[in-house]
Structure 1
């Protein structure tokens, strides 16, 4: 396959973004097991990555007529990738992700991984197939991330069977806070191709801030991790002040000067910052080297973001 064709498919899949999906499931695993559990972690990471890439491709498949007008340079409307090939790739990736989750389910003898994968796939299809064009779009996108984090958490209690008390004992705050964060980012990004409306940008930024506040309060919620909170409160609050500041700074710039360039830069930074957020959560609840493992995902994501647009 020629390099230009590979590049077109990589652009279609928005490959730089996939590392944020992996960081989500790694954080979920670290919170509920205290580490990345070997082959189970590989399978869950693969399932998450495949379904995320599927979502990116199917997004362009369902939007090909809109993109032909608003984003004619995208792979499908530009003719660099045929619509038929994109459909085969998108649905194929989604099925492959479900198969990967199914193999993990068989390996760990728990139905929870495949259950979360099915929920994630339905959320992806719902968003791509039409919800994104409605007021429910940001919420549907947020639920995709919620189920992605829960996919990582689905290894709770390894190697025991799926029992409801184990699921009920999970603190779901991190998953829903990540979902709220994505709702804010999606809301903020709704008009990134044109001149943004300040009210929408402000509401998106405030939603992101609310998610940061929720994550900062995690130590005072009910038993969110297998090993409990590991760093002092002062350091924890400073950590989240810095993380939130690096994200909101670009958003404020876009609010003050709502140009497509400023909004796209703010959205791209917010998406990439998901890895930092996941690493920060992991740092509070596990050995530091697991947080470093999550943070290491920033390097390939940043490198690829220089080659392919994240939004």
Structure 2
């Protein structure tokens, strides 16, 4: 096994980036590095495990489409990948158990176990089902916002809970839109793998309209955040930039297959701006205990 290939197999940069969702919601209730650290560890480990199991299921397809990936290239064997997967799941669930002990609530472990199970289910079945798979991707990435609230004790403060739900909604709708757009962009390749995307089952115009609806929901939810008066005004420039990126994605989405590549790019930019904006916006906010 080439150790240098492990981060690529884990897609560790994506997992770490996604773990910021834990900090964003967690920062509203605590700055305790012990509490937040176990949450981040659980997210990174289980998200990485999901990436590994995805590559295990996709190894035959990747031999044709992505022969440079660690498994098809032979940099990591299938047996080694399975061992890495088991270790990551053990670490993730172990970290969630610590979080459950800290808050005296089994929910962190339950959510983590469900998250791990969905990772397997997505790779084995949901991925090829198109829209259901799109929803799964959006919710799986965004669940960190809810998990961050749970591991900090589920403090019942309505404005902050609404803020967290808006974080979750913005992230989920934007990611679902991008997944649908990618289905438009990859319509020919998906036909070879028989992936039942909206673009293939209902046509590109229909898929474009559905993606546009999700983008509109993302823009509305994103723009609503300052009105809850929890997040810092520092967030507003990020909100404006994110709305512009999401609107640009919307414009190109409605152009169908010809605009799909740019639509996907702008949706990705909007997601990045949103995540950074959320983090910058919650750091100055006093914790609520």
Calculate the TM-score normalised by the size of structure 2.
0.76
Equivalent residue in structure 2 for 1:218, among 220, 225, 231: 225
Equivalent residue in structure 1 for 2:43, among 40, 44, 48: 48
Q: 1:289 to 1:274 in 2, by over 3 A?
A: farther
**Paired residue for 2:276?**
279
Deviation at 1:202, TM superposition (A): 6.4
Equivalent residue in structure 2 for 1:19, among 10, 16, 25: 16
Equivalent residue in structure 1 for 2:161, among 170, 173, 176: 170
Higher helix share: 2
Q: What CA distance in whole angstroms lies between the structure 1 residues aligned with 2:250 and 2:45?
A: 30
Q: Name which structure has the greater RCO, CA cutoff 8 Å, separation 6+.
A: 1
Cα contact 1:116–1:154 (8 A) shared by 2: no
Cα contact 1:113–1:154 (8 A) shared by 2: yes
Q: What CA distance in whole angstroms lies between the structure 2 residues aligned with 1:273 and 1:101?
A: 30
Structure 1 unaligned spans of 5+? 291-311
Q: 1:243 to 1:49 in 2, by over 3 A?
A: same
Deviation at 1:59, TM superposition (A): 0.7
**Paired residue for 2:214?**
207
Tell me the secondary structure at the aligned position of residue 167 of structure 2: helix
Q: 1:143 to 1:254 in 2, by over 3 A?
A: closer
Tell me the secondary structure at the aligned position of residue 74 of structure 2: coil
Cα contact 2:19–2:40 (8 A) shared by 1: yes
Deviation at 1:73, TM superposition (A): 2.6
Q: 1:75 to 1:269 in 2, by over 3 A?
A: farther
The alignment's C-alpha RMSD in Å is 3.6
Equivalent residue in structure 2 for 1:182, among 175, 188, 195: 175
Q: What CA distance in whole angstroms lies between the structure 2 residues aligned with 1:81 and 1:201?
A: 38
Deviation at 1:274, TM superposition (A): 3.9
**How many residues in Structure 1 have an aligned counterpart in Structure 2?**
270
**Paired residue for 2:119?**
124
Residues 1-311 of structure 1 mapped to structure 2, 5 A cutoff:
5-31=2-28, 33=29, 35-134=30-129, 135-157=131-153, 170-171=161-162, 172-190=165-183, 199=205, 200=207, 203-204=210-211, 206-220=213-227, 228-231=230-233, 236=236, 238-246=237-245, 249=248, 263=261, 267=264, 270-271=267-268, 274-287=271-284
**Paired residue for 1:301?**
none
Structure 2 unaligned spans of 5+? 190-198
Calculate the TM-score normalised by the size of structure 1.
0.72
Q: What CA distance in whole angstroms lies between the structure 1 residues aligned with 2:151 and 2:7?
A: 30
